[in-house]
Chains A and B, each alone.
Chain A
Amino acid sequence: AQSVTQLGSHVSVSEGALVLLRCNYSSSVPPYLFWYVQYPNQGLQLLLKYTSAATLVKGINGFEAEFKKSETSFHLTKPSAHMSDAAEYFCAVIFAGGTSYGKLTFGQGTILTVHP
């Protein structure tokens, strides 16, 4: 079955430290991949997307993600965490084929805490 998994429901880092949020998908065909961020009492904001062009994707707020087909992964990174990065992050996938065009499948989310 096609699925997306985020490893770690909570990640805690110090301000200025590297942020690494993990996302793996299960699919025989590379899907379209997205990272979204959600701040309290708000909707989801798109951070970046992978659509089969460059494997290293740069997004907003200094985030980037690398698509690795061999590892079926799309991990999100940021070199230096800022207090304002504290939020919940979701990896999302549109799987190829069928009528799944508009259907995003989300990971369970990772809550990022940034300590001063």
Chain B
Amino acid sequence: KAGVTQTPRYLIKTRGQQVTLSCSPISGHRSVSWYQQTPGQGLQFLFEYFSETQRNKGNFPGRFSGRQFSNSRSEMNVSTLELGDSALYLCASSLGWGQRNSPLHFGNGTRLTVT
């Protein structure tokens, strides 16, 4: 069974631009979560989607948004990029929302560099 797939693996953008990251969950998984990983702040929760609806949101500005499609694939968008948005963005999938004993399976991430 294929794991969580994130594309692209690496991105370089300029301040002020916007970026879209993509995530394909494990087949059969319906919940997708996004996390930002930086050396200073560690791993921080961005949002979670289930059945095309955002179920949970972390403490990030409105420039960060996401969506989920009917096939459970998800995208996240960051508009008006800032230098501080440089990070590894990790996507994770699980069987379903509300199943706390269903662990998250992570992709290898998208490394975003903002110059």
Residues of A whose CB lies within 8 Å of any CB of B are 32, 34, 36, 41-46, 49, 51, 90, 92, 94, 99-109
Contacts and interface: CB of A to CB of B under 8 A. Distances in A.
B42 A109 contact: yes
A103 B90 contact: no
User: Could you say which of B44, B56, B104, B108 has the most chain A C-beta atoms within 10 Å of its C-beta?
Assistant: B104
B50 to A, nearest CB: 7
Contact of B103 (A46, A101, A108): A46
Nearest to B41: A108
Contact of A32 (B56, B90, B100, B105): B100
User: Could you say which of A43, A46, A94, A107 has the most chain B C-beta atoms within 10 Å of its C-beta?
Assistant: A43
B64 interface: no
Given A101-B56, A102-B94, A51 B101 contact: yes
Contacts of B106: 36, 43-45
B108 A101 contact: no
Given A32-B100, A94-B100, A108-B42, A102 B109 contact: no
Given A43-B90, A45-B106, A101 B100 contact: yes
Contacts, number: 65
B68 interface: no
Interface in B59-98: 90, 92, 94, 97-98
Interface of B: 4, 31, 33, 35, 42-45, 48, 50, 55-56, 58, 90, 92, 94, 97-101, 103-109
A101 B58 contact: no
Contacts of B50: 102
User: Could you say which of B45, B90, B99 has the most chain A C-beta atoms within 10 Å of its C-beta?
Assistant: B45
A34 B97 CA distance: 17
B101 A101 contact: no
Contacts of B43: 90, 92, 104, 106, 109
Contacts of A109: 42-43
A44 B90 contact: yes
A75 to B, nearest CB: 19
Contacts of A99: 55-56
A102 B34 CA distance: 10
